[in-house]
A and B are shown apart, each in its own frame.
Chain A
Amino acid sequence: MGYVGEFEQLVLFAVVELRDEAYGSAIREMIEARTGRVVSSGAINTTLGRLAERKLVTSRIGEPTAGRAGRPRKYYAITAAGARAVQESYSTIQKMAGGGLLGRVTRMARGKG
């Protein structure tokens, strides 16, 4: 089980949140809405591809929809390994940032110290 990077964590969290509606543009929109970061569809898809290669997510092709010129969507779901990976990575950061460290970093970022 390997560590997942920050962007991969964002994608995995979005997949969990969206449940059965976790496909590229929905994930992208959720990340943009919650973080304010602008990400590209290509970046989302390639990240999902990498996560699928590492068996952290699974994918299935949905039914073709009329609104997409007949093109199907690819839906993603997190695997148990994926859930462990995101949990471990996130808790690693939390452990590291504990003990008042986050507060100090916040103050430094605001220029207070």
Chain B
Amino acid sequence: MIGRRRPRALGWLAILFVRGPEAPFVRADLDDSHDRDLARGLPAWRAHGRYVVNTLVSSSSLLVERLRPSGLRPSWIDVRLGLRMLVKYPVLTGVALFTLAIGIPVGVAPAHFADALEAPLPIHEARQVRLIRYWDLEARRRGPTTISDFLSWRDTLTSFESLGAVRAAAYNVDTGSGQVASVSGAELTASTFGVLGAQPQVGRFFIQDDERAGAAAIVVIGHGLWRARLDGDPAVVGRTIRLDGIAHTVVGVMPAGFAFPASQQLWLPLRDRPMPNPRDERQVSIFGRLASNATPERAEAEVRVAQLARAGGGEVAARFVPEVLPTSFLLMGGLPKGGFRSLPEFRFIQILTLVPLFVACANVGLLIFARTATRSSEFAVRTALGASRARILTQVFTESLVLSVAAASVSLLLGGVITASGLVTRFMGGMGIELPDWVDFGLTGTTVLRALGLAVLSAVIAGVAPIFRVTGRSINQSIQRARAGRSGTRFGGLTSALLVADVAIAVAIVGFAVALADKARATIDNGQAVGIEASRYLAAELRLPGGAAAPSATAQQAVVDRLEAEPGVRGVTVANVLPRMDHDIQFVELDGEELPPGSPGHGVRTAQVDTGFFDALGKPVLMGRPFNAADLSEGASTVIVNTTFVERLLGGANPIGRRVRYVSRGLESRSSWYEIVGVVGPLGMHVLTPEQDEGIYHPAAPGSINPVWLAVDVGPDPEQFAPRLRTIVRDAAPNAVVTRTMSLDQAYEGDSYLVAALALGAVLMMGVLLMLAASGIYAIMSFSVAERTREIGIRVALGANRGRIAWHVARRALIQLAAGALLGMPIAALAFFELQEGAGRDPSVILATLLALVPGVGIMILVGVVACAAPTLRALRVTPVEALKVEG
């Protein structure tokens, strides 16, 4: 023995890492080597280091040996055995298939949707076409590109063969049939079609002269519009159609399937000109086709250099960095360069969607564990006949793989049917997300591969761990236990931990689902209580002629006048957004207040409303005065705020005469001041969380907003008035279009759909997880009680009290249930408090939280009791003679 002692930590390390049947000899060798190193005169630190390395490398060698590939080669026999097992245990197969068939598609969904949305546009050699945009490093959002950027880049960049610019818009189109409809279109440069490599089917595309200010008004139309509105007229070129009331000559028709940049059906020449003040220029998207010898990286470097040269360095150049990106960013322009996957929200959702799969795997693992345990004697005999441990592992793993691959196939089949049915697009439409036709959510090879990958992972999680436990016993022991008619499996710490985790997750999920459902219900209640009788109003979106730049005041006024004169109409008002809808959020500061540097200001919701808005909605001004005609004059700058604004931003102080102004992020630019002249009560600016709906109303003159929302007070069942409203609009303003109508009580914030969808998803997930947890718990508990039949019989034979035996059996199960419930309850409560957003101090919320936990805990206890009851009663009925027979 060497004089110097070996640190104990090294011994522990070896015990921890060096495992398996050969471990004692390997650990002894590690010690030997260490002693020799010291005897050779190596410094102690070096000998210790060599010990650590030797331990870790040895551990990996042993692990690799245990999983040696030669023994883990699956065969067709294993696959056939796996299929036979599916048939032999139909209940287990059903439960496992169902749970994995839900878990796997939910797990692959985020990546699948991100892929679909990030797919390149359906244009010729799409990978060569790239968007050029600015990224605002400070605000972490897209910066504006304008015609000046386009002209500068077009003239200087050599990495691009050609550049184009586009701006989407909507037009009220009258093809001469007397029916006006709103159609989405775009203004684009003549170069665009060259960049895209597209040719018109009929007629021509724009030439550079068409971009000249004062050139003839012309339009190129899409195939769909041509067929639907112009009956596919072969002589369409030269025909006149009216866009926002202005006659345009059709010069060309694009082929079917062409829609750029998204779902547009008509295109006009872009006639933007550089302005003396670049801030006055309107935003455009700029894109180009890479030169044959250019790469996106080189192009980006060139644009950055060009930008630095143009801006002459300085703060702006450092803040707005040009980026060269795939065409999908034309659609998803607000995303950072890395796309969806670079968003923390995406990663969070990805983790969240994998939770059900892992819970499913853990439970399927429990079920397989129970099934494998009943086959213990089979494995013992096979081992005795010479099957290696690896061979048995392979067989059982293949069985589990067959199950998960079958589940993945079922889910892919269902996923294919669902995406083909257009359900996803309809759901997104409900949330206000309009997607271009070419965004295809259909199954792709990548998604199939991902699903199969998850199936393998599921098989590993669900199959391998239980099998290691079952096969980790000596042959003699297994055979002895098999002879005694028992599986010989003891459900130790791992199983208990799984059961406890199962119950905890189920309880937490129930709490979360109840909280979300409560939130959804509260949202609906809030919607009813916005302070107006929403069910009396017909809401109609009206697109005025003149586009966004110069909407027609005459048309708006004509429509309002005609509606007010209509019998049965009690009031009409116009705004850019109506109560219960999504209001814009902007940031403000108050006079006399010093915002700290870097502060974004106070977030408030805003609306632009006509002077009669509050009267028409039956919501009189509480303090100060309502808007009047003077507020619409040039230079007037008055606003009305709501009571929440007064309470939250002014601490309830009198706001009349106070001033407020808008600040952009980081306070680097400020608007002029607005004077507060009045206060109104809550009017549904933020239905989801009315306690945080502080808002500002601006007066809007006719012709200052496009499109506008009309709220028409027509009494009960307002939707019946919709056809009449369309007729009135057609008569009063032939070039205006009613794009949609609804009863105002059917208007919801986009987030409400999200809350409703989340609530529905959580309730569904709750059902699935509960079923999973219940099936896992039932399988394990009933199995472990059944295992003790003989023991119970003997106890009965020896005169034990039946009640005490029942308690003895149930005790462990109850401890596991209680531990799970205790673990899950705080998580559920946290979710509930979080979703109440600050209302947590209210005793009613605490009570509701406790009530929310009752179903989860209750269901788990019920499952546990049922799982224990049947086998316990069966065991208690066993006569001592039968019990002893089993022993024999």
Residues of A within 8 A of B (CB): 23-26, 28-29, 40-46, 49-50, 66-69, 71-74
CB pair B61–A42 under 8 Å, yes or no, is yes
The CA of A13 and the CA of B197, in the complex, are separated in Å by 71
5 examples of A-B residue contacts, CB within 8 angstroms: A28-B33, A41-B30, A42-B26, A42-B57, A46-B65
Kindly name the residue among A40, A41, A44, A46 whose own CB sees the greatest number of chain B CB atoms within 10 A. Answer: A41
- Give Cα A26 to B33, complex, Å: 8
B30: chain A residues within 8 A (beta carbon): 25, 41
Q: Which A residues are in CB contact (< 8 Å) with B27?
A: 71
| Chain A residue at smallest Cβ distance from B63 | A42
Min distance, Cβ A38 to any Cβ of chain B, angstroms: 8
In the complex, the 3 A-B pairs of residues with the closest C-beta atoms, listed nearest first: A42-B58, A42-B61, A24-B29
Q: What separation, in Å, do the CA atoms of A74 and B28 have in the docked complex?
A: 10
B residues 548-564 touching A (CB-CB < 8 Å): none
Chain A nearest CB from B424 CB (Å) reads 52
Q: Is there an interface contact between A43 and B61, defined as CB atoms closer than 8 Å? A: yes
Is A25 in contact with B32, judged by CB distance below 8 angstroms? yes
Closest-CB distance, A31 to chain B (whole angstroms): 12
Q: Does B689 contact A (CB under 8 A)?
A: no
State the CA gap A40–B31 with chains docked (Å): 12
Check if B54 sits within 8 Å of A41, measured CB to CB: yes
B59 at the interface (CB under 8 A from A): yes
Taking CB atoms, residues of chain A closer than 8 Å to B300 are none
- Whether B18 is near chain A, meaning CB under 8 Å from some CB there, is yes
Cβ contacts under 8 Å, B62 to chain A:
42, 45-46
The answer to whether residues A41 and B1 also contact, given A71-B24, A71-B28, A72-B28 and a CB cut-off of 8 A, is no
Query: Are B1 and A67 closer than 8 Å at their CB atoms?
Result: yes
**Cβ of B315 under 8 Å from chain A:** no
User: Which residues from B are CB-within-8-Å of A45?
Assistant: 22, 25-26, 29, 58, 61-62
Q: A24-B32, A67-B1 are in contact. Are A73 and B59 (CB under 8 A)?
A: no
Report whether B36 and A40 are in contact in the complex, using a CB–CB cutoff of 8 Å: no
B32 & A68 in contact (Cβ 8 Å cutoff): yes
B31-A69 in contact (CB<8A) = yes
Complex CA gap A50/B69 in Å reads 13
Once bound together, how far apart are the Cα atoms of A26 and B28, in whole Å? 12
| 8 Å CB contact of A74 from B18, B25, B60 | B25
Smallest beta-carbon distance A93→chain B, Å: 23
Q: Tell me if B35 counts as interface (CB < 8 A to partner A).
A: yes
List B residues at the A interface (Cβ < 8 Å). 1, 18, 22, 24-33, 35-36, 53-54, 57-62, 64-65
A-side contacts of B33, CB under 8 Å: 25, 28-29, 41
Q: Which residues of A contact B54 (CB under 8 A)?
A: 40-42
Q: What's the count of A-B pairs with C-beta under 8 Å? A: 74
Q: Name which residue of chain A comes closest to B22, CB basis.
A: A45
- A60, chain B: closest CB distance, angstroms: 12
CB-CB under 8 A for A42 and B18, given A25-B33, A66-B1, A68-B31: yes
CB pair A42 B28 closer than 8 Å: no
Contact (Cβ within 8 A) A68 B22:
no
**CB atoms of A43 and B28 under 8 A apart:** no
CA distance A90 to B29 in the complex (A): 28
State how many angstroms separate the Cβ of B791 from the closest Cβ of chain A. Answer: 37
Bound CA–CA A54/B59 (angstroms): 23
Contacts of A25 in B (CB 8 A): 28-30, 32-33, 36
User: Which secondary structure characterizes the binding site on chain A?
Assistant: helix
B61 CB, min distance to chain A CBs, angstroms: 4
Beta-carbon contact of B29 and A44 below 8 Å: yes
Complex-state Cα separation, A44 to B434, whole angstroms: 64
- Please determine whether A68 and B61 come into contact, CB atoms closer than 8 angstroms: no
Known: A28-B29, A42-B62. 18 other contacts (CB 8 A): A23-B29, A24-B25, A24-B28, A25-B28, A28-B33, A29-B33, A29-B36, A40-B58, A41-B33, A42-B59, A43-B57, A43-B61, A45-B29, A45-B61, A49-B65, A72-B28, A73-B25, A74-B25
Q: Which residues of A contact B64 (CB under 8 A)?
A: 46
A71 to chain B, nearest CB (A): 4
Given known A41-B33, A45-B22, A49-B22, contact A68–B28 (CB-CB < 8 A): yes
Q: Which residue of B lies closest to A67 (CB)?
A: B1
B58-A43 in contact (CB<8A) = yes
* Bound Cα distance from A40 to B53, whole angstroms: 8
Report A-chain residues with C-beta under 8 Å of the C-beta of B31: 68-69, 71
Q: Is the CB of B22 within 8 A of A46?
A: yes
Q: Is the CB of B65 within 8 A of A41?
A: no
Q: What's the minimum C-beta distance from A75 to chain B, rounded to whole angstroms?
A: 10
Chain B residues with CB under 8 Å of A42's CB are: 18, 26, 54, 57-62
Q: What's the least CB distance linking A68 to chain B, in Å?
A: 5
Interface centre among B26, B35, B60 (most CB of A within 10 A): B26
A24 to B62, CA, bound (A): 14
Q: Which residues in A have their C-beta under 8 angstroms from that of B53?
A: 40
CA separation between A28 and B65, bound complex, in Å?
18
| Distance (whole angstroms) from the CB of B16 to the closest CB of chain A | 14
How close is A35's CB to chain B, nearest CB, in angstroms?
Answer: 16
Q: B26: which A residues are within 8 A, CB to CB?
A: 24, 41-42, 45
A67 touches B35 (CB 8 A): yes
CB neighbours of B18 from chain A (8 A): 42
A60 to B29, CA, bound (A): 15
Residues on the B chain within 8 Å of A23, using CB: 29
Bound: A101/B165 CA distance, A: 67
- With A and B bound together, what is the CA distance between A72 and B28 in angstroms? 8
| Residue of B18, B57, B59, B60 with highest tally of chain A CB at under 10 A | B57
In the complex, what residues of A have CB within 8 A of residue B32's CB? 24-26, 68
Q: Which of B26, B28, B30, B65 has the most CB of A within 10 A?
A: B28
Whole-angstrom distance between the alpha carbons of A108 and B62 in the complex? 37
Cβ–Cβ < 8 Å partners of A40 in chain B: 53-54, 57-58, 61
Note all chain B residues with C-beta closer than 8 A to A26: 32
Instruction: Give B387 Cβ to nearest chain A Cβ, in Å.
Output: 14
* Cα distance, A41 to B24, chains bound together (Å): 12
Chain A CB within 10 Å — which of B29, B30, B31, B61 has the most?
Answer: B29
Residue in B closest to A61 when the chains form the complex, CB atoms: B25
**In the assembly, what is the distance between CA of A85 and CA of B18, in Å?**
30
Q: In whole Å, how far is A89's beta carbon from the nearest beta carbon of chain B?
A: 19
A66 to B713, CA, bound (A): 99
A73 to B32 Cα, complex, angstroms: 10
- Please give, as numbers and ranges, the residues of chain B lying within 8 Å of A49 by CB-CB distance: 22, 65
Distance between Cα atoms of A43 and B60 in the complex (Å)? 9
A42 to chain B, nearest CB (A): 3
CA distance A74 to B22 in the complex (A): 10
Question: Quick one: closest A residue to B64, CB to CB?
Answer: A46
Q: How far is B36's CA from A26's CA once the two chains are assembled, in angstroms?
A: 10
Closest to B34 in A: A25
Q: Cβ of B58: which chain A residues have Cβ within 8 Å of it?
A: 40-43, 45
Q: Measured between alpha carbons, how far is A1 from B62 in the docked complex, in Å?
A: 25
CB pair A73 B36 closer than 8 Å: no
- Report yes or no: A41 in contact with B29, Cβ–Cβ below 8 A: yes
Q: How far is the CA of A45 from the CA of B62 in the complex (A)?
A: 8
Residues of the B chain whose Cβ atoms lie less than 8 Å from the Cβ of A29: 33, 36
Closest to B27 in A: A71
- Complexed CA–CA distance, A45 and B29 (Å): 9
> How far is it, in angstroms, between the C-alpha of A50 and the C-alpha of B36 when the chains are bound?
26
- A111 and B53 CA atoms in complex are apart in Å by 34
In the complex, residue of chain A having the shortest beta-carbon distance to the beta carbon of B40 = A29
Cβ–Cβ contact A46 & B61, under 8 A? yes
Shortest Cβ distance from A44 into B: residue = B29
* Interfacial chain A residues near B24, Cβ < 8 Å: 71-72
For A71, the chain B residues whose CB sits under 8 A away are 24-25, 27-28, 31
Alpha-carbon gap, A41 to B27, bound state (A): 8
Residue of A26, A45, A72 contacting most chain B CB atoms (<10 Å): A45
Set of chain B residues within 8 Å of A67, measured between Cβ atoms: 1, 35
Chain B contacts for A44, CB-based, 8 A: 29
Bound-state CA distance A52–B59 (Å) is 20
Which chain A positions have C-beta within 8 A of B35? Answer: 67
By a CB distance below 8 angstroms, the chain B residues around A28 are 29, 33
Roughly how many angstroms separate A72 CA and B32 CA in the complex, as a whole number? Answer: 11
Q: In the complex, what's the smallest C-beta–C-beta distance from B468 to chain A, in angstroms?
A: 18
